[in-house]
């Protein structure tokens, strides 16, 4: 918890207000108090507030009328309603108007702390998503979702339609094609755009921790669980949960995920209480899930639950019209990092890129172009800037009339340079282009850093 978080208690019961304020101050919160609607609105005009504890009945106003005004003044601010026993229906109505939750007075202070913590975590996510939404919108219009090819134009048209529904979506495609960007587009083109977007890589979380990461846990639920943890499912309430690499998910967790998808309910680890959230699920995989089902590694019932709609992201080799536009969009977005230097491709570079199969798809394309920028000395990217390892490989290949012709030029006496001479010259040239950066040089040469140092010593180039 950040100690600078500001909490406004807006309640006309001074005794209760003082008790809550004292408790929250001890926890490090910066607490403001107001007993009337007008005093509360005055605070909100002058001070950035993180959360408001709002009494549903105030001397000079109705909490239900005040709530929309508060949300309008500070959009991401979270409001927790405080209600008397006879006003539960009104509190539920307030939640429909944008309140995070409601508590019945007299409040259980421990419950209030937990609810406030959750509300502040949601505020943090909303603020992060505001920035992420700007990034994705920029990427969509710039280079990440380039749609020059018929295949990508069709995919984005379908994606926009899918985004308007709440159906579960399964995104399929090879590694590196940009499945995560399609998932982001689904969220940001949907009615959930102002709610959390929570991505999770199912293959990157250790099996022993994935249940806790997804569903959360209670304090003391297992060894090392020293505090309560809110899971990603709960954080995504009213928003979108993106399950990347769903094919990597352990079978035991697949069962629990299926139950959640069927009911919208879950339990934190170590808790008996059922919790309900409203979450849209988008999943992605580079595996053939039907084959995984046949081999017993993926549940068939989970597959059909996830597979409400399927989007297939085509590999780059099947949308070659996107390659050169992708390159130039990438170069444009990199200009700030490279002091606004402009780069262009030689015609032969474009030709080789268009004829390349790109097994690593767009991820590989961007890596190659980044390498080309580093090695280009004059702003024009040549094939040797992008694929220096091809030249290095040629040095290791026995020369033939076809392979050596045009690559090595003979000396005046008609003899050719030795392999050592050429390798030494090539290492020097690469070092010059990387400005002496050893790790970068080794990567471009396709050798280890240790091997590079060994060669530098052997050729007396290590001084």
Asked whether residue 391 carries a pLDDT value surpassing 70, the answer given is no
Q: Are 354 and 386 in contact (CB under 8 A)?
A: no
Q: What pLDDT is attached to residue 394? A: 42
Q: What is the pLDDT of residues 102-126, one digit of tens each?
A: 888 888 899 899 999 988 888 877 7
Q: Are 78 and 69 in contact (CB under 8 A)?
A: no
Q: What pLDDT is attached to residue 131? A: 55
Backbone φ and ψ of 124, nearest 5°: -60, -45
Q: What pLDDT is attached to residue 299? A: 96
Q: What is the pLDDT of residues 264-301, one digit of tens each?
A: 999 999 888 888 899 999 999 999 999 999 999 999 99
Q: Are 231 and 216 in contact (CB under 8 A)?
A: yes
Pick the CATH number of 142-314 from 3.30.530.20, 3.90.1150.10, 3.30.565.10, 3.40.50.300: 3.40.50.300
Question: In 3D, which of 3, 5, 277, 241 has the Cα closest to residue 120?
Answer: 5
According to DSSP, residue 183 is labeled H
* The overall pTM is greater than 0.85: no
Asked whether residue 392 carries a pLDDT value surpassing 50, the answer given is no
Phi-psi region of 446 (alpha: psi -120 to 50; beta: other; left: phi over 0): left
Asked whether residue 10 carries a pLDDT value surpassing 70, the answer given is yes
Among all chains, which residue has been given the structure tokens 């959640």? 260
Distances (CA, A) of 456 to 28, 97, 398, 443, 461: 58, 69, 23, 15, 5
Look at 410 and 306; give whichever has higher pLDDT: 306
CATH architecture of the domain with range 6-122: 3-Layer(aba) Sandwich (3.40)
What is the DSSP code string of 204-243? TS-HHHHHHHHH-B-TTSSTT--S-B--HHHHTTTSEEEE
Please check whether the two domains, 6-122 and 142-314, share a CATH topology. Answer: yes
Q: What ranges do the domains of the chain cover?
A: 6-122, 142-314, 330-458
Among all chains, which residue has been given the structure tokens 């220096």? 388
Q: What pLDDT is attached to residue 101? A: 85
Q: What pLDDT is attached to residue 390? A: 62
């Amino acid at each position: 918890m950040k100690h600078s978080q500001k909490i406004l208690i807006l309640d006309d019961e001074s005794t209760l207000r003082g008790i809550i304020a004292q408790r929250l101050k001890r926890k490090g919160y910066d607490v403001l108090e107001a007993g009337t609607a007008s005093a509360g609105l005055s605070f909100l005009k002058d001070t950035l507030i993180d959360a408001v504890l709002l009494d549903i009945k105030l001397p000079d106003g109705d909490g239900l009328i005040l709530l929309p005004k508060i949300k309008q003044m500070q959009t991401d601010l979270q409001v927790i309603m405080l209600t008397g026993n006879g006003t539960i229906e009104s509190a539920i109505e307030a939640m429909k108007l944008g309140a995070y939750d409601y508590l019945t007075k007299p409040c259980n202070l421990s419950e209030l702390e937990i609810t406030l913590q959750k509300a502040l975590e949601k505020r943090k996510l909303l603020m992060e998503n505001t920035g992420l939404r700007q990034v994705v919108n920029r990427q969509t219009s710039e280079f990440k979702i380039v749609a020059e090819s018929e295949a990508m134009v069709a995919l984005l048209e379908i994606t926009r339609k899918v985004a308007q529904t709440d159906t579960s979506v399964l995104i399929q495609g090879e590694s590196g094609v940009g499945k995560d960007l399609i998932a982001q587009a689904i969220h940001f083109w949907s009615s959930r755009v102002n709610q959390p977007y929570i991505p999770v890589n199912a293959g990157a979380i250790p099996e022993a921790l994935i249940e806790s990461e997804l569903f959360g846990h209670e304090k003391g639920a297992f060894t090392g669980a020293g505090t309560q943890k809110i899971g990603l499912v709960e954080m995504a309430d009213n928003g979108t949960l993106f399950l990347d690499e769903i094919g990597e998910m352990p079978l035991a967790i697949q069962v629990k995920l299926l139950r959640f998808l069927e009911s919208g309910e879950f339990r934190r680890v170590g808790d008996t209480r059922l919790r309900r959230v409203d979450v849209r699920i988008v999943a992605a995989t580079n595996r053939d899930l039907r084959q995984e089902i046949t081999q017993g590694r993926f549940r068939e019932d989970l597959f059909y639950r996830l597979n409400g709609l399927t989007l297939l992201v085509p590999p780059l080799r099947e949308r070659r019209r996107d390659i050169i536009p992708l390159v130039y969009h990438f170069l444009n977005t990199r200009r700030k990092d490279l002091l606004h230097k402009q780069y262009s491709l030689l015609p032969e570079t474009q030709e080789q890129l268009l004829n390349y199969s790109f097994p690593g798809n767009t991820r590989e394309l961007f890596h190659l172009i980044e390498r080309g920028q580093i090695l280009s000395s004059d702003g024009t990217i040549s094939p040797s800037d992008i694929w220096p390892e091809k030249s290095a490989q040629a040095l290791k290949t026995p020369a033939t009339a076809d392979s050596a012709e045009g690559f090595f030029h003979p000396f005046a006496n008609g003899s050719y340079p030795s392999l050592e001479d050429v390798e030494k010259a090539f290492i020097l040239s690469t070092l010059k282009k990387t400005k002496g950066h050893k790790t970068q040089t080794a990567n471009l040469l396709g050798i280890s850093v240790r091997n590079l140092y060994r060669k530098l010593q052997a050729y007396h180039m290590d001084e």
